[in-house]
């Protein structure tokens, strides 16, 4: 069963919708087995769906509703026309590849998503791990899966009595390592991250042999993470290909070409001739080869611009462009447009390099710049493994849980690269605090610290006068439940021993 897409006017479709069952003549050769059609008015969003009962060759008839007056080829027996939620062009596939543009008619596939309930994590565990966790549960001991996996090795070697004793010892060990009630975990986490942070270097890593390809490391990167910077100083992506393309150099080079956002100014010089009122584009061969661009790509990019006339062909070494409206102002405007006119690639991706991973002997791509949403739409890209260091972009594209994991992974990687060991639980606490509200918040006056319920805690952090004046005007009350506010007023904090009230009861005889 074929599915087709074509462009038509809203007027035609609304008329067809009112008539219900009808025969519709179109100017394309429609496959006979077509049962479904999606229609767009702007070649971007498809807003109508046509249910087709049959297709036949065009023959003149007074009972037809015609798409246009001439060059009609097929007649669709329309059962029903539905208005639907807009479907973007990129959702349709042809030869398993996303459609980026189409002329007026295409035979396509529209992939369907099958929703299947995922098995719980416990159900996926091996019987041996499940048995160990059941034995521990009988002893009222809650084991993590990672501990149970390590114990599987000992269960095979030890007798049941000795294995039971081992579980008892582990239970005692886990109890001693639990956090005490009312422990100041925030202060401990802050100290545990802050102290190693003083040993971090302030540097960037440079990709050897590649101009302008740096990655921020060390303390500046850690500050970026906790400040939740909207745009990192050096945004970058690690792009993985699908397994079937990982070893194909030809596919890799095509993906690099598709990724890199190349403008005319990146590969050519633009010379302005005021006397002739023209602009001459002089391609530089070295830059053209480096960016995998040829003259036809330049001409295709210029064809998308309006209000200009191109006076050269594909064989010319230089391309002459003339504004259709001859004026100095228009000449300057066209010159500025040419500088930023995209030839190919994805906006935001300035550079892309491909390297073979020494461990797996498979290709991996690294980019300068980030655009996760559009990169994931490329057919050859493995969406499950592709990664960006832009945490805010991850939150926007993949959601807040993905951003939480990203904060944790980025902080852990930044510290590990410096040879610093910080307990993962401290970093998990920071990631939780930054994201538990449903959006990524900075650890600062614009985020967590600036939104504390305590007036005195906010005033102790920054802009003291503003917070105290605002609290006085609004009549805010401070419950004194935190650390900073209790220290300010000179009383014990409500953590540790300060969280317990002792009452002496006299023993009456």
3-state secondary structure of 368: strand
508: which 2 tokens?
Answer: 């009456």
pLDDT tens digits along 14-27: 887 777 777 888 88
Give how far Cα 395 sits from Cα of 212, 434, 439, 474, Å. Answer: 27, 12, 8, 34
Confidence of residue 313 (pLDDT cuts 50, 70, 90): low
Q: What angle do CA 486, 491, 493 make, to 5 degrees?
A: 55
Residues 6+ away with beta carbon under 8 Å from 388: 235, 236, 237, 238, 370, 372, 394
Whether 336 shows a pLDDT value over 90: the answer reads: no
Confidence of residue 399 (pLDDT cuts 50, 70, 90): very high
Side-chain-side CA neighbours of 257 within 13 Å: the count stands at 14
Name the nearest CA neighbour of 368 among 165, 207, 253, 506.
Answer: 207
Considering only residues 279 and 408, tell me which one the structure prediction assigns the higher pLDDT.
408
Name the nearest CA neighbour of 101 among 90, 111, 112, 91.
Answer: 90
Whether 183 shows a pLDDT value over 90: the answer reads: no
374: which 2 tokens?
Answer: 């559009």
Query: Which of 105-119, 207-221, 244-258, 425-439 is modeled with the greatest confidence?
Result: 425-439
CB 132 within 8 A of CB 152: yes
pLDDT tens digits along 82-122: 888 888 888 888 877 777 777 788 888 887 777 777 777 77
Name the nearest CA neighbour of 107 among 26, 42, 47, 41.
Answer: 26
Other Cβ atoms within 10 Å of 312 Cβ, number: 17
pLDDT tens digits along 341-356: 888 888 888 888 888 8
Domains of the chain: 2-108 (2.30.130), 122-176 (no CATH), 185-231+391-447 (1.10.1790), 262-344 (3.30.1360.140), 452-497 (1.10.150.390)
160: which 2 tokens?
Answer: 């049941």
CB 27 within 8 A of CB 72: yes
How much is the mean pLDDT over the chain? 83
In this prediction, residues 454-480 reach a mean pLDDT of 84
Confidence of residue 431 (pLDDT cuts 50, 70, 90): very high
Enumerate the β-bridge partners of residue 3: 36, 108
pLDDT at 395: 93
- φ/ψ of 75, rounded to 5, equals -120, 125
Other Cβ atoms within 10 Å of 203 Cβ, number: 14
Whether 210 shows a pLDDT value over 60: the answer reads: no
Other Cβ atoms within 10 Å of 124 Cβ, number: 9
Name the nearest CA neighbour of 258 among 43, 98, 44, 42.
Answer: 98
Q: Identify the helix (H) or strand (E) that includes residue 429.
A: helix 424-435
Considering only residues 213 and 306, tell me which one the structure prediction assigns the higher pLDDT.
306
pLDDT at 316: 66
Whether 208 shows a pLDDT value over 60: the answer reads: no
CA distance 178 to 168: 16
In this prediction, residues 320-336 reach a mean pLDDT of 83
pLDDT at 404: 95
DSSP 354: E
pLDDT at 207: 61
pLDDT at 509: 63
Considering only residues 509 and 296, tell me which one the structure prediction assigns the higher pLDDT.
296
pLDDT tens digits along 22-79: 788 888 888 888 888 888 888 888 888 888 888 888 888 777 777 777 788 888 888 8
pLDDT at 98: 77
pLDDT at 255: 87
DSSP 432: H
Confidence of residue 466 (pLDDT cuts 50, 70, 90): confident
């Amino acid at each position: 069963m074929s599915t087709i897409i074509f462009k038509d006017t809203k007027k035609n479709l609304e008329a067809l919708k009112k008539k219900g069952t009808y025969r519709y003549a179109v100017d394309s050769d429609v496959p006979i087995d077509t049962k479904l059609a999606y229609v767009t008015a702007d070649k971007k969003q498809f807003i109508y769906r046509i249910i087709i009962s049959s297709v036949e060759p065009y023959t003149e008839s007074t009972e037809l509703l015609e798409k246009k007056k001439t060059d009609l080829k097929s007649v669709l027996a329309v059962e029903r026309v539905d208005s639907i939620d807009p479907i973007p062009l990129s959702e349709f596939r042809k030869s398993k590849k996303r459609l980026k543009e189409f002329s007026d008619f295409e035979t396509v596939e529209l992939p369907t998503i099958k929703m299947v309930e995922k098995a719980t994590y416990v159900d996926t565990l091996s019987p041996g791990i499940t048995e160990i966790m059941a034995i521990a549960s009988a002893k009222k001991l809650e084991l993590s899966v990672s501990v149970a996996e390590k114990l599987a090795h000992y269960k095979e070697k030890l007798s049941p009595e000795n294995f039971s004793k081992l579980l008892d010892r582990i239970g005692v060990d886990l109890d001693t390592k639990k956090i005490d009630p009312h422990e100041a975990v925030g202060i401990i986490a802050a100290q545990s991250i802050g102290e190693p942070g003083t040993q971090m270097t302030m540097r960037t890593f440079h990709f050897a042999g590649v101009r302008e390809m740096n990655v921020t490391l060390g303390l500046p990167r850690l500050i970026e993470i906790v400040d939740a910077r909207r745009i990192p100083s050096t945004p970058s992506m690690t792009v993985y290909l699908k397994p079937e393309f990982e070893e194909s150099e030809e596919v890799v080079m095509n993906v690099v070409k598709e990724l890199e956002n190349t403008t005319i100014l990146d590969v050519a010089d633009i010379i302005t001739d005021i006397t002739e009122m023209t602009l001459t584009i002089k391609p530089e061969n070295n830059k053209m080869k480096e960016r995998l661009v040829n003259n036809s790509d330049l001409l295709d990019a210029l064809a998308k611009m309006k209000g200009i006339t191109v006076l050269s062909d594909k064989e010319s070494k230089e391309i002459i462009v003339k504004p259709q409206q001859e004026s100095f102002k228009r000449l300057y405007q066209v010159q500025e447009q040419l500088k930023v006119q995209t030839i190919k690639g994805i906006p935001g991706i300035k550079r892309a390099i491909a390297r073979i991973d020494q461990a797996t002997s498979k290709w991996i791509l690294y980019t300068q710049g980030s655009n996760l949403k559009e990169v994931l739409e490329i057919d050859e890209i493995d969406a499950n493994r592709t990664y960006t260091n832009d945490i805010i972009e991850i939150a926007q594209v993949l959601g807040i849980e993905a951003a939480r994991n990203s904060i944790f992974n980025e902080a852990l990687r930044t510290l590990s690269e410096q040879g610093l060991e910080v307990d993962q639980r401290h970093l998990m606490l920071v990631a939780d605090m930054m994201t538990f509200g449903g959006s990524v918040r900075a650890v600062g006056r614009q985020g967590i610290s600036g939104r504390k319920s305590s007036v005195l805690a906010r005033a102790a952090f920054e802009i003291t006068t503003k917070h105290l004046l605002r609290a006085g005007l609004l009549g805010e009350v401070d419950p004194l439940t935190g650390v900073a506010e209790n220290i300010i007023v000179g009383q014990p904090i409500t953590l540790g021993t300060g969280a317990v009230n002792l009452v002496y009861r006299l023993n009456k005889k």
